[in-house]
Amino acid sequence: MLNALRPFIARLLTPVGQALAHTPVTPNAITITGTAGVVAGALWLFPTGHLFAGTVVCTVFVLADMLDGALARVKGTSGAWGAFLDSTLDRIGDAAVFAGLAIWLARTGQGVLAGVALFCLVVGGLVSYAKARAEGLGLRCDVGIAERSERLVIALVSAGLSGLGVPYVLAVGLWVLAALSAVTFGQRVLAVRMATGPAAGVPQAGEGSRPGEPGPPAGGTG
């Protein structure tokens, strides 16, 4: 849903990218720095109960990390390696946020919520994996009500408000996020199923070979 804002954010960040293009800073350096900042903030401040400070640090570095794309476009250095690095490090940053929250919840005796945070971590990874695997098979899988941007907003806003003393907001945010993440994963699995089902003319299990495996000889049934 928040992906609709990407064109606006890109236009907003373009002048910053143009300014950075005259410096030795590279898009990959921004990607690595942004992830390092998120990981440091999440795994240092969240487990020690500094939820608001951790949210501020993570948010600043998440926003800074958005500059890598703008700088790559200006410099004309966009490529497969940069896209791979950005996507991979995003997973690390996301995992750090939920791991940090889970550690703090466990340390404060909130075992059930700690489990919910870990559930959000695992299912969030599955949501991203489902899309990546589908695209690796040449299928579109950009459906879902809670993509990465939405999941991060819900998690960080809930943590930040909890750090300011708002009661129950973190619990509500994590439970809602767990439900939305599970639904999103289901939506993506269903989307791939529909794209590869009998109506799509794609062989099913037992009817053909797996991707990358040889099929039966031409004109035969195996």
Gap between the Cα atoms of 148 and 132, Å rounded: 13
Closest CA to 34 of 59, 14, 4: 59
Q: Any catalytic annotation for residue 90?
A: yes
The 3-state DSSP composition of the chain as helix, strand, coil percent (nearest 5) reads 75, 0, 25
Q: How far apart are CA 30 and CA 86, in angstroms?
A: 10
Please check whether residue 167 is in contact with residue 158, taking contact to mean a CB–CB distance below 8 angstroms.
Answer: no
Q: What is the largest CA-CA distance in the chain?
A: 70
Which of 65, 86, 90, 94 is labelled catalytic?
Answer: 90
Give me the active site residues, please.
Answer: 90
